[in-house]
């Protein structure tokens, strides 16, 4: 593919991320069942480090968009997008059927520094719900599967960093992460089946 092809796909990718995330936000506004929490003593022992928000949101989207640079053709782009849509469908089912939310006490009330201001901005549109399984972890794992042929073992650093950032920013419970990885892996298997 040419550079202009990749720039077109990158632009489409940005619009897809913005558009598809509306389904995620739609799930936040639905309340078919009461939400529950999974807070444990382990969660209370994990420190709050708001500076990890730069990984949680700052690294997340650029790496997902990096997948465009790994594609061979437009057909592969179509299947790549399909794998993320399959993942979204699985995530939405979990969010609607098994709603989980983090405690109100984990939200930033009075930001004290730039990291907390950024985290408060993230909180302004990302409510406490849609926690289980972690969509950040599932997307990161699916992305790592897509970019692994190009980055090798370094690709697995992405879901690991995202998982840690989910905990240190108090966006997720510890129990949200393994199922998130499992859902991401299932979407990868669906992609392999499709192609």
pLDDT digits (tens, 9 = 90+) for 121-154: 999 888 888 889 999 999 999 999 999 999 999 9
Residue 103 maps to a domain: yes
| Ordered DSSP codes for 95-135 | HHHS-B---GGGS-SS--SHHHHHHHHHHHHS-S---SS-H
Q: How many domains does the chain have?
A: 1
Residue 39 maps to a domain: no
Local confidence band at 195 (pLDDT 50, 70, 90 cut-offs) = confident
Residue 110 maps to a domain: yes
pLDDT reported for residue 126:
86
Residue 37 maps to a domain: no
pLDDT reported for residue 99:
92
- The CB-side HSE value for 91 (13 A sphere, CA atoms) comes to 32
**Does the pLDDT at position 35 exceed 90?**
no
Which whole number is the average pLDDT over 74-98? 94
Percent of the chain beyond pLDDT 70? 100
Query: What span, in angstroms and rounded, lies between the C-alpha atoms of 138 and 85?
Result: 12
Which whole number is the average pLDDT over 111-118? 93
pLDDT reported for residue 108:
84
What would the pLDDT profile of 155-190 be if each residue is shown by its tens digit?
999 999 999 999 999 999 999 999 999 999 999 999
**Cα radius of gyration (the chain):** 17
Residue 141 maps to a domain: yes
Q: What sections of the chain are H helices per DSSP?
A: 3-28, 41-45, 53, 60-66, 74-97, 114-125, 135-151, 157-168, 177-194
Residue 108 maps to a domain: yes
The whole domain housing 151 covers 3-29+44-194
pLDDT reported for residue 28:
85
Residue 38 maps to a domain: no
Residue 162 maps to a domain: yes
Among all chains, which residue has been given the structure tokens 């550079």?
3
**Does the pLDDT at position 31 exceed 80?**
no
The model's pTM: 0.94
Q: Which residue has the higher pLDDT, 32 or 158?
A: 158
* Average pLDDT in the chain: 93
Local confidence band at 113 (pLDDT 50, 70, 90 cut-offs) = very high
What would the pLDDT profile of 49-62 be if each residue is shown by its tens digit?
999 999 999 999 99
**Does the pLDDT at position 110 exceed 90?**
no
């Amino acid at each position: 593919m040419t550079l202009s092809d990749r720039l077109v796909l990158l632009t489409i990718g940005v619009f897809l991320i913005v558009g598809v995330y509306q389904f995620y936000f739609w799930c936040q506004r639905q309340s078919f069942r009461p939400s529950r929490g999974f807070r444990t003593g382990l969660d209370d022992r994990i420190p709050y480090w708001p500076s990890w928000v730069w990984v949680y949101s700052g690294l997340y989207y650029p790496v997902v968009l990096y997948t465009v640079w790994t594609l061979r053709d437009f057909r592969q782009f179509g299947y790549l997008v399909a794998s993320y849509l399959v993942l979204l469908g699985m995530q939405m089912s979990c969010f609607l059927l098994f709603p989980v939310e983090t405690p109100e006490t984990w939200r930033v009330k009075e930001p004290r520094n730039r990291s907390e201001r950024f985290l408060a901005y993230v909180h302004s549109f990302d409510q406490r719900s849609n926690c289980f399984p972690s969509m950040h972890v599932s997307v990161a794992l699916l992305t790592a599967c897509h970019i692994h042929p190009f980055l090798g073992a370094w690709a697995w650093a992405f879901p690991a960093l995202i998982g840690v950032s989910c905990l240190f920013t108090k966006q997720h419970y510890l129990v949200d992460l393994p199922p998130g990885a499992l859902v991401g892996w299932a979407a990868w298997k669906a992609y392999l089946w499709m192609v």
